[in-house]
């Protein structure tokens, strides 16, 4: 049976999953008034769509190439039923080197930021994604899945751990795992490493997922969630934050 790994990636992850993006500077207040830092700390968190797109587009690390950029739901390659109610989302898919014995599979990096109508809606979405990650906790075995008459998504087997994280005043969970792909009628791939961080702040959810073929690349990719969040600007005046 033949298959298309890129079709599987787009269908399952994206159907759609740092260069610095400057923060908005607050002007100094009058003498005797609250400090700029105090004003920023008290103000609701707000992201601009253009700044978010710059932030998620930039983090493609050395050896990866951005192959898909999503500026919203209008692009049919970027549609996802679980994002039907977001006000906007931005995301990228970057592809790296081939996975050892991976039958055409490559390293990947998916970055995405979503803006929801309310903080409660964002919390529910983050909770749904985190619940899906629990299938990878401990020893796990995910069966391959047919996606068409001659295509399928490979299964994978491995071990994973979930940890709470709180970078840059965001709150969420990160999954770390070691696994190998399981192919139809073929030997499994060699072991690869993966991570998936889901964090929320106010009505925004940031989602970063990666697969790396070796520990060195995995270590580099594991810094991306923090770098992405630090590059997203905070400014004042969004009452829905």
Q: Give burial (CB, 10 Å; 0-12/13-18/19+) of 63.
A: middle
pLDDT at 41: 53
Exposed e or buried b per residue across 105-119, where buried means at least 16 C-beta atoms within 10 angstroms of its C-beta: bbbbbbbbbbbbeeb
- Architecture per CATH, domain 5-18+38-231, reads as 3-Layer(aba) Sandwich (3.40)
- Series of mean pLDDT values for 10-residue runs along the chain (241 residues): 36 30 33 51 76 86 91 84 88 95 95 94 96 96 92 95 94 97 92 97 96 94 93 60 42
Whether pTM > 0.75 for this model: the answer is yes
Instruction: Compute the distance between CA of residue 138 and CA of residue 117 in angstroms, rounded to an integer.
Output: 35
State the pLDDT at residue 185.
87
Q: Nearest-CA neighbor of 98 among 7, 9, 214, 218?
A: 214
**Domain limits of the chain?**
5-18+38-231
């Amino acid at each position: 049976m033949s298959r298309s790994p890129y079709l599987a990636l787009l269908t399952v992850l994206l159907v759609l999953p740092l260069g610095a993006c400057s923060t908005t500077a607050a002007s100094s207040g009058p003498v005797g008034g609250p400090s700029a830092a105090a004003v920023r700390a008290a103000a609701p968190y707000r992201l601009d769509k253009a700044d978010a797109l710059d932030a998620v587009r930039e983090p493609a690390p050395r050896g990866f190439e951005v192959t898909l950029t999503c500026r919203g739901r209008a692009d049919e390659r970027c549609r996802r039923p679980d994002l039907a109610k977001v006000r906007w989302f931005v995301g990228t898919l970057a592809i790296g080197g081939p996975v050892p014995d991976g039958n055409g599979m490559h390293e990947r990096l998916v970055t995405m930021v979503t803006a929801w109508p309310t903080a409660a809606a964002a919390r529910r979405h983050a909770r749904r994604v985190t619940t899906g990650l629990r299938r990878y906790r401990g020893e796990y075995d995910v069966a391959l899945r047919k996606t068409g008459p001659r295509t399928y998504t490979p299964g994978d087997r491995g071990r994973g751990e979930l940890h709470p994280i709180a970078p840059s005043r965001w709150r969420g969970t990160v999954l770390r795992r070691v696994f190998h792909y399981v192919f139809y009628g073929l030997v499994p791939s060699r072991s690869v490493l993966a991570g998936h961080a889901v964090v929320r702040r106010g009505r925004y959810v940031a989602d970063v997922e990666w697969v790396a073929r070796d520990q060195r690349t995995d270590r580099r990719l594991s810094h991306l969630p923090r770098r992405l969040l630090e590059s997203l600007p905070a400014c004042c005046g969004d009452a829905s934050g």
